[in-house]
Chain A
Amino acid sequence: MERRSFFKILSSVSAGVAASSCSNKTDTLIPLLVSNTEIVPGEEQWHPSVCSECSAGCGVIVRVMEGERTVERQGHKFRERIAAIKKIEGNPLDPVSGGRLCARGQSAVQSLYHPDRVTAPMRRKGTRGTAEFVPVSWDEAIDAVSRSLNIQQSADPGKILFLTRPESGSRSATIQNFLSALNAPPPLTCSLASFAVERKASEVVFGWRGVPVYNLARARYVLGVGADFLGGWVSPVYYARQFGEFRRGRPGVRGRFIQAESRMSLTAASADEWLPLLPGSEPEFLTAVTRLLLDARLARDPEQLPPAVLNSIKSADVASLARICGLNVNRLERITRDLGESDAPLVISGASSPNTNSLHAVAAAHYLNALLGNIGRPGGILAPNQDLSPLPLVGSVSEKLKASNFLLLDYQNPVYSLPAAAGARETLSQLEMIVSFSPFIDDSSAYADWILPDHHALETAQAVVPAVAPGSAITVGLPFIRPLYDTRALDQTLVAIAHKMGKSLEPVTPERYVKSLLPPDQTWDQVACRGGLWQEAPKPVGNEVPRVAEAQAAHSEIAVSPDLARFPFYFQPYLSLQFHDGSGANLPWMQELPDPVSSAMWNIPVEIDPQSAARLDIRTGDWVRVQSPYSSFEAPAYVYPAAIPGVVSMAIGDGHQHYGRYASGRGANPIEILAPVLEPSTGTLALGGTRVQIARLDRAPAGFVQFSPRDREQGPWGYR
């Protein structure tokens, strides 16, 4: 949608929000909450909101038109016309989404209208894990939960564990207030998409809080290392927009892009050149490049680095480092020269598949950027959108789970996102009490004693701090449709529980959250109308460049299970664009979206390279068993011509035992077989820390469906 027409539409969206603040064209005033009688067939309304599918926090606009549903009243079924959400697009005013949106974000409407949503509070009926529940009233549920929480709180508040999304905003502020009112420890997250390593590296090296912003659009030569930033990384829409600009947005300038990664990801596929790194060799690669840069006297700012770092780089032996990466020195030299000679070079690094040495890798990339004079420079690496409230911590969730008595789950699924060896299932069956706020019965909610379902994000009021944004940004969404079911917003539920326990708790509303940050020339009404508060980054005082500190990385070598003869393959589960940390698997559009790598639908395959596949007699579609020292699973194989020999990858997403009709019992969960190895500085699960063996199963190839079949990939257009 064009900006012009969006302003036109906004004018009609004014509301409990004052009309004058939005625009002057206010011929039709529609209250913020659309009542059903105000829906005119064939006419659309657009309302600003915020996407909650991942922590990128994209601003969206939502198309509302008439919809019909069947309702039962007094024994009679009839069709009711209501205001319904039809489509979600990016908010053109939002600097993160810029009017665009990824596939997952557009599918948020399917989680709103998902046929398997929890429609009312529920109490467990069967044994834990069987997902048998009976609906109860809100009063009964709140009564029971607050009573037992009270008992736990007076006994030992330290044993209350709250797991929530890795997101900062009004919602997480309410959760933190709730926990501090109870003297309970702050919330943790077990999401695989917390990007804790990236945050930690930026904190250690620059003293920044949050994920740094890479100004890709203004760079001319980009070296990506380990960050699948066009795929399932921190902010896919923001970086894809930047990428378009980088490539063809500037007359006469086409940015050149080299990606070094242990997988041919979407990002590597978009690169001009892909450097296939062996898993976990990112620190070695970056050290080699840095050393070559220093040797070629192309470093612009060598004094930036702490002497200890500089010395260790100078003592590095490029030839042996290149051997560890599986690359040839001449190639490294060429790339270093191009990088160093470019007038706007940039190194983008991250840990899409965290290894035990990932902190070291990201820190090494920061040093390289510092040498290139990139810190805080347009086309370089910029300070993050400062988090206003502390993010939930990551730290070794499985230990904390075992040490706690009372578990509260907010869209978190430890059973799914912890390896089987961490024993989450056993721990959850033994906990005293589990309360889930999830609107879906997922693998972990199946263990809950009580489910107090939250509204869908589009039905609730929230302010979200986007993980990555140019300047300072808060995205705001206020409800404009009536909740579909007997659900309650999480902050409401928490306030009710706190009051029952005799504690005082004020929910942090988006208005309260934003008000303290409002610049003098803006009002809350304007923020609500636009869908966010976006400001230029504060100008650094003087010519202050952040200090570059040494990262004390514990391991520079990747730790994996040692038995190389029995388990010859590196195994790397990764976050895909459609399923992300696995939470997108319940959406039918995401299940039938052909996987960008394999074109697989409704089933995620294991990606294996052609050489190894030939040796093991595996063809695409064959079923294979993937066995780690801890556990195994079975899945179809996809022979991926671009896989690194000896490296087996798989997207996270399938293998839910419970997660609605479209995900339950479908495929395998790659996390399940991982070694419970953590990245030491953050406690993030090291996705790349496990080796596996693979064997073909004697089973008829079935269940593997590709949308674009194989013959379309190879050779010309023979396929019909």
Chain B
Amino acid sequence: MAIDLDRCTGCQACVAACHAENNLPLSDPESAAKGRAFHWIRVDRYYEGEFPSIRVKHMPVLCQQCDEAPCEPVCPVYATYRNDEGLNVQVYNRCVGTRYCANNCPYSVRFFNWFDPVWPEPLPLQHNPDVSIRMTGVMEKCTFCIQRIQRAERDAASEHRQVADGEIQPACVQSCPAEAMTFGDLNDPESKVSRLAASGRATRLLEELGTKSKVFYLERSE
């Protein structure tokens, strides 16, 4: 994935899209105060300088799907691992809730289900049947909308063709009004996301940690 910070306006359409797509538990003021609110994607803000020559920068942060993910080696039950496609997968069935992974994630993008999620009726009508409802005691995080990836791959397979570049759009990418986010195959050097990642503006978050993350941020340059 590539995120163009020069296009991003910080509007958080991606955040709402993620909630709608992935059945994220609702928080309430009490749980939020304990740091238990869920946002698989968030928009961080940074201040540079001081008034009056201050600048505010917005930066969407989601699971960086690291190739050398700090969360993986600390899981005692292999509930989180890197699959063949390069996704950092979280298997709810395996997770026993040690929370070591969240502790070890430098991006703070993992969330623990302290309770079974509660939705007053009839809000559950909105639940996306393509995505599991997670239960007490498991960790969850951004999946790059694996359900959309799988659907697109299956559709392509049954039509005997390759998945086209740009065909798969995670919910956040789909919703972004400024088209700041691009999703695609980094292994394909011709894909749009590869070209963006290779452009001079691309950096990675906390690159010095050697996580080899797969989200590229295109800097806001003049």
Q: Which residues of A contact B (CB under 8 A)?
A: 1-2, 41-42, 65-70, 82, 84-90, 97-104, 106-107, 109-110, 113-115, 230-231, 236-237, 240-241, 243-244, 247-249, 254, 256, 264, 266-270, 272, 274, 276, 484, 577-578, 588-589, 592-594, 596-597, 599, 601-603, 609-610, 641-645, 661, 666, 702-703, 705, 707-708, 712-714, 717, 719-720
CB closest chain-A residue, reference B26: A588
Residues of the B chain whose Cβ atoms lie less than 8 Å from the Cβ of A230: 9, 11
The reply to whether A593 and B12 contact each other, CB–CB distance below 8 Å, is yes
CA distance A593 to B19 in the complex (A): 10
Partner of A266, one of B9, B121, B166: B9
Per-residue interface assignment for chain B, residues 32 to 58, with 1 indicating a CB less than 8 Å from any chain A CB and 0 otherwise: 110001010011111100111011111
Residues of the B chain whose Cβ atoms lie less than 8 Å from the Cβ of A2: 166-167
The reply to whether B10 and A269 contact each other, CB–CB distance below 8 Å, is yes
The reply to whether B9 and A243 contact each other, CB–CB distance below 8 Å, is yes
7 chain-A/chain-B pairs, Cβ below 8 angstroms: A109-B126, A240-B9, A241-B177, A274-B54, A589-B19, A599-B45, A643-B51
Least CB distance, B148 to chain A, in whole angstroms:
10
- Those 5 A-B pairs whose CB atoms lie nearest each other, nearest first: A244-B178, A103-B16, A240-B177, A269-B56, A67-B125
* B-side interface residues, number (CB < 8 Å): 64
| 16 more CB-based (< 8 A) A-B contacts, given A103-B15, A241-B177, A599-B45 | A65-B129, A69-B124, A84-B125, A87-B126, A109-B20, A110-B126, A113-B125, A115-B122, A240-B11, A241-B178, A594-B12, A602-B27, A610-B51, A642-B54, A645-B51, A705-B29
Q: Decide yes or no whether B72 CB sits under 8 A from chain A.
A: no
CB closest chain-A residue, reference B167: A2
Q: Decide yes or no whether B137 CB sits under 8 A from chain A.
A: no
Residues of the B chain whose Cβ atoms lie less than 8 Å from the Cβ of A602: 27-29, 32
CA distance A155 to B52 in the complex (A): 60
Least CB distance, B192 to chain A, in whole angstroms:
12
Partner of A276, one of B9, B37, B52: B52
CA distance A97 to B33 in the complex (A): 35
Least CB distance, A651 to chain B, in whole angstroms:
13
Q: Decide yes or no whether B140 CB sits under 8 A from chain A.
A: no
Residues of the A chain whose Cβ atoms lie less than 8 Å from the Cβ of B204: none
Residues of the B chain whose Cβ atoms lie less than 8 Å from the Cβ of A599: 45
Chain B binding surface SS class: loop
Q: A87-B20, A593-B15, A596-B12 are in contact. Are A272 and B222 (CB under 8 A)?
A: yes
Per-residue interface assignment for chain B, residues 146 to 166, with 1 indicating a CB less than 8 Å from any chain A CB and 0 otherwise: 000000000000000000001
Residues of the B chain whose Cβ atoms lie less than 8 Å from the Cβ of A65: 128-129
Q: A113-B126, A248-B4 are in contact. Are A717 and B16 (CB under 8 A)?
A: no
The reply to whether B11 and A705 contact each other, CB–CB distance below 8 Å, is no
Partner of B16, one of A247, A270, A272, A589: A589
Residues of the B chain whose Cβ atoms lie less than 8 Å from the Cβ of A720: 103, 106, 108
Q: A247-B7, A276-B51 are in contact. Are A103 and B122 (CB under 8 A)?
A: no
CB closest chain-A residue, reference B14: A103
Residues of the A chain whose Cβ atoms lie less than 8 Å from the Cβ of B57: 269
CB closest chain-B residue, reference A706: B32
CA distance A654 to B179 in the complex (A): 31
The reply to whether A102 and B39 contact each other, CB–CB distance below 8 Å, is no
CA distance A243 to B179 in the complex (A): 9
The reply to whether B13 and A100 contact each other, CB–CB distance below 8 Å, is yes
CB closest chain-B residue, reference A231: B11
Partner of A106, one of B9, B20, B108: B20
The reply to whether A114 and B123 contact each other, CB–CB distance below 8 Å, is yes
Least CB distance, A610 to chain B, in whole angstroms:
8
Residues of the B chain whose Cβ atoms lie less than 8 Å from the Cβ of A666: 29
Q: A601-B37, A645-B51, A703-B29 are in contact. Are A66 and B129 (CB under 8 A)?
A: yes
Q: A106-B13, A264-B56, A713-B46 are in contact. Are A100 and B176 (CB under 8 A)?
A: yes
Least CB distance, B35 to chain A, in whole angstroms:
8
Residues of the B chain whose Cβ atoms lie less than 8 Å from the Cβ of A484: 122
The reply to whether A89 and B174 contact each other, CB–CB distance below 8 Å, is yes
CA distance A240 to B8 in the complex (A): 9
Q: Decide yes or no whether B17 CB sits under 8 A from chain A.
A: yes
The reply to whether A714 and B47 contact each other, CB–CB distance below 8 Å, is yes
Least CB distance, B121 to chain A, in whole angstroms:
6
Residues of the B chain whose Cβ atoms lie less than 8 Å from the Cβ of A100: 13, 174-177, 179
Q: Decide yes or no whether B89 CB sits under 8 A from chain A.
A: no
Residues of the A chain whose Cβ atoms lie less than 8 Å from the Cβ of B17: 101, 103, 106
CA distance A615 to B50 in the complex (A): 17
The reply to whether A603 and B54 contact each other, CB–CB distance below 8 Å, is no
Q: A248-B4, A644-B51 are in contact. Are A594 and B128 (CB under 8 A)?
A: no
Residues of the A chain whose Cβ atoms lie less than 8 Å from the Cβ of B20: 86-88, 106-107, 109, 589
Least CB distance, B44 to chain A, in whole angstroms:
5
CB closest chain-B residue, reference A107: B16
Partner of A596, one of B37, B43, B127, B128: B43
Least CB distance, A432 to chain B, in whole angstroms:
36
Q: A106-B175, A596-B10 are in contact. Are A85 and B121 (CB under 8 A)?
A: no
CB closest chain-A residue, reference B206: A717
Partner of B51, one of A101, A588, A641, A661: A641
Least CB distance, B29 to chain A, in whole angstroms:
4
Q: Decide yes or no whether B185 CB sits under 8 A from chain A.
A: no
Q: A86-B128, A254-B6, A601-B37 are in contact. Are A264 and B54 (CB under 8 A)?
A: yes
Q: A69-B122, A596-B45 are in contact. Are A705 and B128 (CB under 8 A)?
A: no
CA distance A370 to B51 in the complex (A): 33
CA distance A594 to B19 in the complex (A): 13
Q: A103-B13, A592-B27 are in contact. Are A41 and B129 (CB under 8 A)?
A: yes
Least CB distance, A469 to chain B, in whole angstroms:
15
